[in-house]
Amino acid sequence: MPTTERRYVIRLACPDRTGIVAAIAGFLAEAGGWIVEAAYHTDPETNWFFTRQEVRADSLPFDVAELRERFGAVARGLHAQSDWSVTDTGGRRRVVILVSKEGHCLYDLLGRVQSGELDVDVRAVVGNHTDLAAITRAHGIPFHHVPFPACEPEGKRAAFAQLRQLVDAAKPDAVVLARFMQVLPPELCADWAGKALNIHHSFLPSFVGARPYHQAHRRGVKLIGATCHYVTAELDAGPIVEQDVIRVDHRDSVVDMVRKGRDIEKVVLARGLRAHLESRILLHGNKTVIL
């Protein structure tokens, strides 16, 4: 993201008790750390604590590796298990985008990258159709075509294997399903857990699965929505990151809903991706805490 200065981002979730803020703040203060942003959340139901803090890199006398090591000791003292991270805003985040035929989300993301708003390295775009190859390549980004046969389990398995190879080779910080119309197999969901973001074109949990605008039209709803969520093995049931809606009425056909819906899909996906790349999202069971 367009931070003018390099920062280290600390994220931690642990059982709640007194003194956590003091422990972290004391650790940082002792090292001279200048906190530029800090957010806390306590969940009273589960008695769990969450925090995210941004520290000016130049305020610390050591590098990110040493911060990670030193903070690890603090985290262990707070029984945080593996539920913490220290990231460096200095390096550009790597992203792979999966697409099908519909281009509105891809156009939107590429526009944000081109303007510098989304300061990421799009390593590749992978599509099961070639419709979006030209616009991808016009931005100097590799486009890979991986066709998915409709009804051949064998061919589909092979396609997913190829997809996985292309994605994993890029070592992405985020895998963005930008209206990719294939359902990921459970093992991919597991391996990409917490980094694969999908945009579903409904206000979940309404209208799970195929053709949600058709479902919405049939039910006669007065608002349609879009949901950005982490991909999990259960279809459209992963932790929700962001949602929004737009008003429709009896005059809107399914085609109109598809058109209006696109405008929220792309902005909901972009907001969700931004939160993910800025390390703002902590998972809490099947829910998200966004700090």
Cβ proximity to its own copies, 163 vs 229, nearer residue: 229
**Cβ pair 112, 118 in contact under 8 A:** yes
State yes or no: residue 240 binds its own copies (CB under 8 A): yes
Give me the phi and psi of 141, to 5 degrees please.
-110, 135
Two structure tokens written together for 88: 């460096």
Asked if the peptide bond before residue 205 counts as cis, ω within 30 degrees of 0, the response is: yes
Residue window 124-163: x/- pattern of binding to its own copies, with contact defined by CB under 8 A: ----------xx--x-------------------------
What's the closest the beta carbon of residue 154 comes to its own copies, in angstroms?
A: 33
Q: Work out the angle between the directed axes of helices 212-219 and 254-277 (0-180°, nearest 10).
A: 130
What's the closest the beta carbon of residue 176 comes to its own copies, in angstroms?
A: 16
Of the listed pieces 63-71, 143-151, 191-199, 214-222, which binds its own copies according to CB under 8 A?
214-222
**Of 173, 236, 249, 256, catalytic:** 236
Of the listed pieces 79-87, 159-167, 191-199, 258-266, which binds its own copies according to CB under 8 A?
258-266
Note the residue count of the chain: 291
Residue 206 CB contacts under 8 Å (≥ 6 apart), including other chains? 212, 215, 216, 221, 225
Known catalytic residue: 236? yes
State yes or no: residue 262 binds its own copies (CB under 8 A): yes
In angstroms, rounded to a whole number, what is the distance separating the alpha carbons of residues 133 and 99? 10
**Cβ pair 196, 126 in contact under 8 A:** no
What's the closest the beta carbon of residue 182 comes to its own copies, in angstroms?
A: 20
In angstroms, rounded to a whole number, what is the distance separating the alpha carbons of residues 245 and 264? 7
Two structure tokens written together for 83: 């539920």
Q: What angle do CA 288, 49, 24 make, to 5 degrees?
A: 120
Cβ proximity to its own copies, 45 vs 154, nearer residue: 45
Q: Which of 83, 85, 94, 104 binds its own copies (CB under 8 A)?
A: 104
In angstroms, rounded to a whole number, what is the distance separating the alpha carbons of residues 51 and 202? 30
Cβ proximity to its own copies, 98 vs 106, nearer residue: 106
**Residues 12 to 51 in contact with its own copies, rule: CB under 8 A:** 18-19, 21-23, 25-26, 28-30, 32-45
State yes or no: residue 259 binds its own copies (CB under 8 A): yes
Residue window 44-83: x/- pattern of binding to its own copies, with contact defined by CB under 8 A: xx-------------x------------------------
User: Which residues are catalytically annotated?
Assistant: 236
